[in-house]
Amino acid sequence: MDAGCPKVAAIVLSWNRRDEVLETVGLLTRDGYPDLDVIVVDNASTDGTAAALASAYPQVRVLALPHNVGIVGRDIGVANTDAPIVAFFDDDSAPDPGALTRMAALFADDPAVGIVPFSVYGGAHATEYMADLAPDQLIGYVASGVGLRREAIVAAGFSDRDFFWGAEEWDLAIRILNWGYAIAFDPAIRARHRTSALHRSYRRWRRLTTRNEIWMAIKYFPATRIPLMICRVLFNNSTRSRLDGVSPQYALRGAAAALWHWRVAWQKREAIAPGIRARYERQYPPFQAIGPVLRPSIGRRLPMNTPLIVHQLLFWKAELGPYKDPVAPLKV
């Protein structure tokens, strides 16, 4: 194995996007990286994804799961490779030519590097803004394009299985950095996110992201700071909901689920270095900015929205029911 080109496993997580994942796998197989293992984890698709991949790309490994386990599918991909470097992509994203080579070089040059986020462009969840951040401000990535040192994932304990989907990248990144690994960003390492509209639910994503970010506050912050972080998380997600064309009610539903099932996160509490927590906090608006925005809004809208709020509370029974482990059917 060339020291400058370590073996890389490109792990693609897919669910019911047969045509998109076929395009992604085609781009990866033609990438030209000298030692690339392409693995597709199919989250129990019903559109013939696994069969289509086996027919079109017999050299690609397809791990067809019997149940949709969400983000844990990536962990299953990691467990099925011995490559020291893994790269995550969505079924509708792929690296630009040469990006994998540049990524591998960063890992080869510095054993302390544990995360190399790609500069993701072209659609939702772009990360090009990272080029403007100082090294001590970098935290997190999006799974549409990222390189990770496999040993760092294992040391950090893989993904949080209870998240299922949403904010899992930030959660794992916090724990990887807490283990002493570094994050390195090169804007020339790019990945295009085609942002397929198929099975893309911003409502569900905002609900789960809000829930999971509140769980992160419970997991990693001192008890005295948890209420403040919950306010910041809820305000941030409610505000961003409108950018996605989604009602803030989905952020509120996620918050309700997080608080109702707070023990899920509390039992995983972990000491995180203050500097890492400070990096994470910077993505949220300061608490001083929340009050002036919320007070007029609440005073103006609460009376007219009271019937809607009562109506939604009836639908929140699903959020406030018994907790169900999303990975339990697979027993992993």
Rg (CA), the chain: 20
State the architecture of 8-193 in CATH terms: Alpha-Beta Complex (3.90)
Relative to beta strand 190-193, strand 119-121 is parallel
Q: Model-level pTM?
A: 0.88
The H or E element that residue 148 is part of is: strand 146-149
What pLDDT, on the 0 to 100 scale, is given for residue 183?
A: 96
**For residue 125, what pLDDT is reported?**
77
Of the chain, the end-to-end C-alpha distance in Å amounts to 32
Within 10 angstroms of residue 81's Cβ, the number of other Cβ atoms is 18
Q: How far is CA 200 from each of CA 154, 166, 289, rounded to the nearest angstrom?
A: 30, 12, 31
For the chain, the structural domain boundaries read 8-193, 202-330
- Per-residue pLDDT 10s for the chain (332 aa) are 455 689 999 999 999 999 999 999 999 999 999 999 999 999 999 999 999 999 999 999 999 999 999 999 999 999 999 999 999 999 999 999 999 999 999 999 999 999 999 999 987 778 888 888 888 888 989 999 999 999 999 999 999 999 998 999 999 999 999 999 999 999 999 999 987 655 556 788 899 999 999 999 999 999 999 999 998 998 888 888 777 777 888 888 899 999 999 999 999 999 999 999 999 988 876 654 544 444 444 444 444 444 544 555 555 555 666 777 777 655 44
